[in-house]
Copies of this chain bind each other. A is one copy, B any other.
Amino acid sequence: MGATAGDASGLTSTVVFRLGTLGTVVTDRFTREIEGLGLKPKHVGLMAALGRAAVASQQELAARMGVAPSLMVSLADHLEDLGAVQRVRDPRDRRRQVLTLTEEGQRLLDRCTSMARTLDEELMAGLTEKQRKALAEALHVMAKRAGLP
Contact = CB atoms under 8 A, between A and B. Distances in A.
A13 interface: yes
Given A23-B20, A124-B15, A148-B25, A134 B131 contact: yes
A70 interface: no
B126 A8 contact: no
B44 A16 contact: no
Main secondary structure of the interface of A (DSSP, over half): helix
A128 to B, nearest CB: 10
Interface size class of A (residues with CB under 8 A): 35 or more
B19 A51 contact: no
Interface in A46-62: 47-52, 54
Given A6-B101, A10-B113, A142-B126, A30 B21 contact: no
12 contacts: A8-B48, A8-B52, A11-B44, A11-B109, A13-B136, A14-B117, A19-B23, A20-B27, A123-B142, A124-B138, A125-B145, A135-B135
